[in-house]
Amino acid sequence: MNTLNKLKIVSSLALLFSASIAIAAEAGSALKTDNIRYEPYADAKVTGSFNRGDRLEIIKKQGAWLQVKTKKSTGWVRLLSVKRGASATSSGSNITTLASGRTGTGQVVSTTGIRGLTEQELKAAKFNEPEVQALEGYTQTAAQGQQFAKAGSLKTAAFATIKAPKTNSAGAAK
Amino acid sequence: MIKLNLAKNTLLASLLIGASFNTLAFDFQGAIKDAAKEAVKKQIDPNSGEDAAKPAADAKATDTTAKAEPPEFNWQNPSKEEEISLGREITGNLLGAAPLVKDAKLQKYVNSVGRWVASQSDRADLPWHFGVIESDDLNAFAAPGGYVLITKGLYKKMTNEAQLAGVLGHEIGHIVKKHQLKVLQKQQLLNIGSNFLSDKYAKDNKLVSKAIGSGAEISARSLDKTAEYEADRLGITFATRAGYEPYGLVDVLQTLSQTSPNDGSVALLFKTHPHPDERLAALGDAIGDKLDDVKGGQTLEKRFYKLK
């Protein structure tokens, strides 16, 4: 009860806050099928689910979790299950936003302005020795790197290399 | 000598068999890059009194033995120095297309972050170099031996140091796993092999001069998807070990995923990488609950060097 009330208060506060700066809850879509949980913990009770491509609203972020609202339920999911923005997931439901050149954040992106580094440009490129030397001139030693970390209060964390999952929901090698 | 031939032929055979799983293989025409060529040249020059002294003419004059080639780049098992010289060549070409942003503070800052992240990898011993290049593209590049370049366009999309650490970590991951180097090795060895097959110990051992393709074209090529996913996982791994908030790379991928594929600034990136949505989903699968216990990671937005 208590937590539920808290949760309600917190989420309504979040809504109020976002309303006050004139931004509605951010739109998002599901990158994969996943469960919605009552609290932002892996072992919290499952209160709903969504499917890959489903639209949802992102209410807020907490650590590795997002509080989201779907048509049917509200709750918490891991942030890597959700794509931010209104545009559809690449293989999700078909949405017209892509064609209109609008991104999910509502900002209009130029579709003609910037021309990127092309393959042709890269092919035609000539070796530039002074630039390489300039690049090498900025090199920092391991000790300097450590000092820099210390200045930012960065503390190393023991953390095992993330391995490939046994099964993929996306991007399984062809 | 004979033994050597045998060994080479065996290697060739296994390469040809193995090639079917390699999406980039069989590109005989475009196989050798100028970058590789140059690196080979430079490799040769300083070393040897004898072989380097006899240039192209020598190549014709000899030879029936397989070992007629100059003491070339050891493609089967390149040394760290060879790896670095190759990466330097590729990087120099890339810088020929897009020079460094002339902002020493920025470059030093990026080197500081990158060096610290690289120190969390298995190859902390490499002389790591990082640079921001003049391009509005959203992209980043890695070359063998510890060279990492990121475009100004991508840098400007970031808002904190953890994001930069994640992106640099991805590129560091490519280098640690020698992804590009392996592609170049395969191409080069296949090419050597094809010469053996077609010419049967022919005089033509000018493999180095047979180069087609040039400049930094190698930087415009795709690695296979699994290499990209691996680099994503390593980027997060290294950034997390370095004390950063683990989701910096994820933030950037989210930003990229919101960029219209029609936008020219992501044309090359989208061509050479899986779509950010797929990368996010793959990361989600790999990470699961592994980051649940990571606490105290920093984003350091205050320290993040702002570009106008």
Q: Give the number of domains in chain A.
A: 1
Q: State which residues form the domain around A94.
A: 2-100
Mean pLDDT of B82-90: 92
Residue B36 within any structural domain of the chain? no
pTM exceeding the 0.80 threshold for the entire prediction: no
Residue to mutate among A61, A77, A98, A162, with most B CBs inside 10 A, is A162
- The predicted pLDDT at position A116 comes to 64
User: Distance of CA A154 to CAs B101, B105, B242, B278, Å?
Assistant: 27, 20, 7, 30
CATH number assigned to the domain comprising residue A14: 2.30.30.40
Q: B170 in a domain, yes or no?
A: yes
Residue A66 in any domain: the answer is yes
User: How confident is the model over B8-25, as a mean pLDDT?
Assistant: 39
Distance from CA of A66 to the nearest CA of B (A): 13
Which residues make Cβ contacts (< 8 Å) with residue A22, sequence separation at least 6?
A: none
* Residue A31: count of CB within 10 angstroms of its CB: 29
Helix/strand/coil percentages in chain B, nearest 5: 55, 5, 40
Q: Is residue B105 part of a domain?
A: yes
Is the residue at B229 inside a domain?
yes
- Structural Rg of chain A based on CA atoms: 22
Encode B250-260: b = buried (16+ Cβ within 10 Å), e = exposed. Answer: bbbbbbbbbbb
**Is the predicted pLDDT of residue B165 greater than 90, yes or no?**
yes
What sign has the CA pseudo-torsion B281, B287, B293, B298? Answer: negative
- Who has greater pLDDT, B253 or A19? B253
The first and second tokens of residue B124, run together, are 């902390």
Residue A154 lies in a domain: no
Residue B245 binned pLDDT confidence (cut-offs 50, 70, 90): very high
In three-state secondary structure terms, B172 is helix
Beta-carbon contacts of A34 under 8 Å, excluding residues fewer than 6 positions away, are: A49, A50, A77, A78, A81
- pLDDT tens, A49-92? 999 999 999 999 888 899 999 999 999 999 999 999 876 655 43
Q: Which residue has the higher pLDDT, A35 or A95?
A: A35
> What Cα–Cα distance (Å) separates residue A64 from each residue in A59, B56, B288, B295?
14, 60, 10, 11
Q: Which residue has the higher pLDDT, A169 or A60?
A: A60
The domain tally of chain B equals 1
Is residue A105 assigned to a domain?
no
Higher pLDDT, B219 or A157: A157
* Residue A159 belongs to a domain: no
CB contact under 8 A, A127 and B89: yes
* Residue-number span of the structural domain to which B268 is assigned: 100-179+221-287
Determine which of A116-120, A125-129, B136-140, B202-206 has the lowest per-residue pLDDT on average: B202-206
Q: Is A122 domain-assigned?
A: no
> Is B239 a member of any domain?
yes
Residue A38 lies in a domain: yes
Is residue B141 assigned to a domain?
A: yes
Confidence class for position B39, pLDDT limits 50, 70, 90: low
pLDDT of amino acid B102? 97
Q: Locate the chain B residue with the closest alpha carbon to A157.
A: B241
Nearest to B58 by CA among B48, B67, B70, B46: B70
Predicted ipTM of the assembly: 0.75
